[in-house]
Amino acid sequence: MKRVITYGTFDMLHYGHINLLRRAKELGDYLIVALSTDKFNLDMKHKKCFFSYEQRKLLLESIRFVDLVIPEENWEQKKSDMHLYQIDTFVIGDDWKGKFDYLKEEGVEVVYLARTPEISTTQIKQDLKSNK
Ligand code: C2G
């Protein structure tokens, strides 16, 4: 069984996130999503989420591509996660291209997938604000 993992905030879930999760699942048989906690988002990613961790987790767990949701609490956990969850492939959007190549040393394949253009949580918030 090929085990794939990805990491993210996934706030205000949209089709760009779904495109990523669908393609991530296509790379294996079992997809784990490490979901950024509210504390990690606030303190380290400087993101204030619209939905709480529990609400974002519920949404992700409802997606048929997703098999398990775990907390992402810091930048450093990825290395140990690869072994803890016996990961074969790490995947993330290409806005992170090159940033996680060091995980190859843990024996995992590292894949950067093209982002879906024009959609982002920030864009949604801006459009709503300007009544687009
Ligand atoms: N994404 C995408 N297309 C978009 C928007 C997002 O493919 N239009 C992808 C991102 O590249 C990422 C995933 O969806 O792989 C989740 O996006 P975010 O919630 O913005 O994740 P991010 O804040 O980049 O967190 O340790 C890694 C970080 O936690 C990644």
Instruction: Give the residue extent of every domain in the chain.
Output: 3-130
Across the chain, the runs of DSSP E, i.e. the strands, are 3-8, 30-36, 68-72, 89-93, 109-113
pLDDT at 114 over 80: yes
pLDDT at 81 over 90: yes
Mutate which of 76, 92, 118 for ligand 1? The one with the most ligand atoms within 8 Å of its CB, which is: 92
pLDDT at 94 over 80: yes
When pLDDT is cut at 50, 70 and 90, the band that residue 132 belongs to is confident
CA-nearest residue, atom 28 of ligand 1: 8
| 75 CA to centre of ligand 1 in angstroms | 14
Long-range contacts (CB closer than 8 Å, 24 or more residues apart) made by 106-110: 106/79, 106/82, 107/82, 108/82
| CB distance 41 to ligand 1 below 6 Å | no
pLDDT at 49 over 90: yes
Mutate which of 100, 110, 115 for ligand 1? The one with the most ligand atoms within 8 Å of its CB, which is: 115
Task: Give the pLDDT confidence score for residue 72 in this predicted structure.
Answer: 98
Looking at CATH, the fold of the domain delimited by 3-130 is given as Rossmann fold (3.40.50)
> Chain centroid to CA 14: how far?
13
The encoded tokens of residue 50 equal 């619209």
Name residue 1's amino acid: M
DSSP assignments along 90-127, one per residue: EEEEGGGTTTTGGGGGGT-EEEEEPPPTT--HHHHHHH
